[in-house]
Amino acid sequence: MANFWSRWHISLSTWFKDYLYIPLGGNRVSVLRNYLNIFVTFLVSGIWHGANFTFVIWGGLHGLYLMVEKYLGIHKSKTRSKLSIGNIIMVVVTFILVDFAWIFFRANSVQEAILIVSKIFTDANSPLFIKWDVFFAAGIALSILFTKEFIEEFFPTKFSLL
């Protein structure tokens, strides 16, 4: 997740880091205070995106994701190969978590977001319900996209035609 935020909307992320996270103490404080700094920074980021609780939840989710990643020590795993199973799993997990948070970002209300989430998992008559054949096809499509992204990211000079 930290890797995602280091690459996503770099100018805005840098602004929040420089003008909110670091003045709050950054990571040069106790562990609990550092978690609070992360969470507050992302809550404010959510409020910056809009005056609706859906944006606050979106920011809170990202703050929570980063706190869990830091607590588990996942952000420190620099020793793994870029193409390790662990990194591939982290890319997939990050993709799923970020997409889940986008539900709240795009919903008109918290109630609407909760309805969407509940229909994804429970209402078989809903067009949002996960149908396994569609899920399988989407998985294949995503695998192709991830493969392309991995090749471009980890072997840019070897496969420059992609």
C-alpha distances in Å from residue 9, one per residue of 4, 14, 15, 16: 10, 9, 10, 11
The DSSP result for 111-143, as a single string, is: HHHHHHHHHHHS-TTSTTS--HHHHHHHHHHHH
Q: How far apart are CA 4 and CA 101, in angstroms?
A: 13
Task: Kindly calculate the radius of gyration of the chain based on its CA atoms and give it in whole angstroms.
Answer: 18
Catalytic annotation, residues: 49
